[in-house]
Chains A and B, each alone.
Chain A
Amino acid sequence: MDVIQALTDAITTKNVLSSVESCRPYECDGLSAYREKPLAVALPDNVEQVKAVLRICKQYKVPVITRGSGTGLAGGTLPLKDGVVLGLSKLSEIIKIDPLQRIAVVQPGVRNIAVSQAVEKYGLYYAPDPSSQIACSIGGNVAENSGGVHCLKYGLTVHNVLSIKVLNMDGEESNFDEKDDGIDLLALMNGSEGLLGVIVEIKLKLLPKPEAAQLVMAAFHSVSDCADAVTSVLEQGIIPAGLEMMDKFSLMAAEEFAKVGYPTEAEALLLCEVDGSHAQVQTDAKRVADILSQKGAYKITVSQSEKERIALWQGRKNAFPAVGRFSPDYYCMDGTIPRNKLAFVLEEIDRLSGIYGLKVANVFHAGDGNLHPLILYDANKEGELQLTEKFGTEILNLCVDVGGTITGEHGVGVEKLNSMCHQYNTPELEIFHGIKAVFDDTGLLNPGKAVPTLHRCAEVGQMHVHNNQLPHPHLERF
């Protein structure tokens, strides 16, 4: 008997895809430049079936690539040709909502926004709101430790998960709870990219909706003025609920889709949301507006209704794919830098963009210093993807060199493996491999993702430089 037959016997024919034709649409996720057809796709109906799939795959020594909604932007669910994709989209039940305790217990395939929609009637919501929230799954959110436009104030996924149930390759279940004693395994699982276990149940923290929220939209004639304004807002002791920036290109694309009246003549747009009690919001919105106009905003709009506020966010949240209107392909970077380096790094990216001859659209979580330069390219043009990747790597190295990191929320996946060699040295990578082996001694859970092999790092020749001999010596170090 082979693995496909065993899977079919265990979880029924309708839940196993194995023809080339049916497997092909599973060959990539939100990063469609990387593709590989899996051996089979298993779509279990329940947790028992997930356990069965894991046991069978262990028995046949077949790699397992867990997949939520496949919106990941780093190739985290890129299949292996001898591997099984374990799709959790059918596990989409909200198991429990306790409004008094302010928690929801959900299956991993539940879409992010579905949680907030289900608890809205209690005046509650689930805070982390990735731009992909209408589609991405909570399981995927935990595996990537996803952030969103509101995470400066309300935290990332790791801050809003109270406990999880995880399966290992034996199908054995463990519970990791915030209340646990000793080291924090719950925190470790957040952002583990499907390498340490399959998350099958999640208990989420729900927050009361703030009494009021207002969005201040400020248009600038220059990108660097806009970047500087970000620091000023935070310096004044205001923690906005969201602080997002878009450059001309992305705001034009977003406007084209959302039609919410973004000032398309602006070079840069800042969206700053303040929330809290009515009184607090009034005070803060005014303070923010004052700070921004002092910092050179030439036009300031303050949302006057809940409808307007949500509409203004719609443009931002759809900005990445909206860019698809102007360019067949984009490559989304995710570097994070200290906020006071924003203006510098944006200028560098602009300079590199000229050198590579590839356009860049910038749309990002300015409050967190989390950049999302979208490099625009055409995959149908020979060699353009390779050039794009090279450009991307250079941007990430720049982020590390100014004291930042290669990925703030999208994860390493397969895409940033080489950049990991730039950020971490050998003993640190050894620790990562050690952790993986403790959770998964078979090495079958999403192999080849997130952490590069030492061999690979030696090969890309980017092993971390010691004795303070670093690239970009002219940069100030942190």
Chain B
Amino acid sequence: MATLSTPNHAVEQFAEQVKQANLDKQTIQITGNQSKVPLRNEDLNGDPVQELNISNYSGIIEYEPAELVVTVKAGTPLTELQAALAERNQMLAFEPPDYGNSTIGGTYAVGLTGPSKPFRGILRDFVLGTKMIDGQGRQLGFGGKMIKNVAGYDVSRMLVGSKGSMALITEMSLKVIPLAIEVTYCIEMPENEAILLMNKMAGTALPMTGGAYYQGRFYYRVAGEHSLQTNQVGVRECDNSIWLTLNPFRPELEAGEKLWRVDVESTNPAIENTIAVGMGGTRRWVASPHKPNHPYVTLWQTRFAPRHNDTPCVQKIKLGLRDVFDPNHIFKQL
């Protein structure tokens, strides 16, 4: 949305840097706290890259719990934001993984969501508006602080996953939810049965907010008041920490193995070499030297490199959109 706030010194400086880079034909790598993407000092052609670090641009701009909206600067660490919300009995519904001092800007740019994905939604679902600087150093705003807004294309949701390649996100407004009181239950069972069961249960009225399979156990998480679970055969209550084990998931691998993130339909039968099933069955983690044969597979060590499986038509759209936001290709591609 149009720039209503007072001119902001830090943001002006970022914009200046981008404008200057246009003049100098310099490539810029936007960085937060580098918890996910380490800074490499050269671009794909081996040319030097300038860093634009946003981690000092941090803090909550506006937070009114009754409005269910928080507006933050992009460099704000997740932990700080989550603590501020928890103080008012609220939370981020998408439970972003914290890779160690991750910023909300970096989390937005790679679009990471936690275990509640099929139940509460993904990160972009909770984005209401963003302010940004485009590749020409122009300060823009899209969306707003409203739960609903369909004026103009939904740029602030579209840029989730843009990985710093199209615009520098400076601030964003997010929808928050009341802090959920959750309990985790688990049952020992084979993987295929667990996949079937988590799908069946997700279709019942039980207020589920997580479903996973890890090391021989089916885990499910339930929020709020619900019927007694532990009177069913094999079901016992267990610790909520399983969701942090899986989010972020950082397993120890055998030599020669690679970690693959596979996104599938929730009912997809067990995939060979799977070491964890998350997000109600829609996420599979596979440890294997070979790429699993599925359309939505990411090699996790290069997790921010594009998958390059877009059709020519979609590829053309993505390249075209990049030119709209960053015509001189100032922002570094991953």
Contacts and interface: CB of A to CB of B under 8 A. Distances in A.
Verify whether A and B have any Cβ pair under 8 Å.
Answer: yes
B124 A340 contact: no
Contact of A424 (B2, B227, B310): B2
Contact of B149 (A196, A238, A336, A478): A336
B321 A187 contact: no
Contact of A340 (B67, B148, B177, B227): B67
B66 A234 contact: yes
A328 to B, nearest CB: 28
Contacts of B224: 276-277, 280
A208 B121 CA distance: 15
B1 interface: yes
A182 B266 contact: no
A174 B317 CA distance: 10
A180 B178 CA distance: 29
Given A101-B265, A404-B144, A277 B321 contact: no
Interface in A145-164: 145, 147, 151-152, 155-156, 158-159
B78 to A, nearest CB: 20
Interface in B197-244: 199-200, 202-207, 224-227
A185 B124 CA distance: 11
A424 B1 contact: yes
A428 interface: yes
A100 B269 CA distance: 13
Interface in B109-162: 111, 121-122, 124-125, 134, 138, 140-142, 144-155, 157-162
A1 interface: no
Nearest to B64: A340
A306 interface: no
A192 B2 contact: no
B150 A144 contact: yes
A309 to B, nearest CB: 16
B66 A340 contact: yes
Contacts of A191: 150, 153-154
A211 interface: yes
Interface string A166-200: 00100011111111111111011011100010000
Contacts of B111: 184
B125 A159 contact: yes
Given A155-B121, A155-B125, A182 B62 contact: no
A101 B267 contact: yes
Contacts of A106: none
Contact of A99 (B160, B161, B203): B203
Contacts of A124: 203
A407 B298 CA distance: 38
Given A158-B125, A210-B205, A428-B140, A410 B317 contact: no
Given A190-B154, A339-B67, A276 B207 contact: yes
A403 B145 contact: yes
B149 A408 contact: yes
A407 B6 CA distance: 25
Interface stretch (A38-46, A109-117, A259-267, A431-439): A431-439
Contacts of A101: 199, 265-267
- Most A C-beta atoms less than 10 A away, residue of B5, B138, B162, B323: B138
Nearest to B129: A405
Contacts of B86: none
Interface residues on A, range: 35 or more
Contacts of A156: 148
Interface in B258-311: 263, 265-267, 296, 298, 306-307, 309-311
B268 to A, nearest CB: 9
Interface residues on B, range: 35 or more
B153 A188 contact: yes
A202 interface: no
A464 B141 CA distance: 13
A409 B145 CA distance: 15
Contacts of A368: 146-148
A155 B162 CA distance: 23
A181 B66 contact: no
- Most A C-beta atoms less than 10 A away, residue of B2, B158, B202, B325: B2
A427 B311 contact: no
Contacts of B310: 180-181
B3 interface: yes
B313 interface: yes
B225 A152 contact: no
B248 interface: no
Contacts of A478: 4, 62, 145
- Most A C-beta atoms less than 10 A away, residue of B145, B152, B163, B323: B152
Contact of A158 (B140, B154, B298, B320): B154
Given A181-B310, A368-B146, A403-B4, 7 more contacts: A151-B147, A181-B307, A183-B162, A208-B204, A211-B205, A338-B146, A432-B153
Interface of B: 1-6, 62, 64-68, 89, 111, 121-122, 124-125, 134, 138, 140-142, 144-155, 157-163, 166, 177-179, 196, 199-200, 202-207, 224-227, 263, 265-267, 296, 298, 306-307, 309-311, 313-314, 317-318, 320-321, 323-325
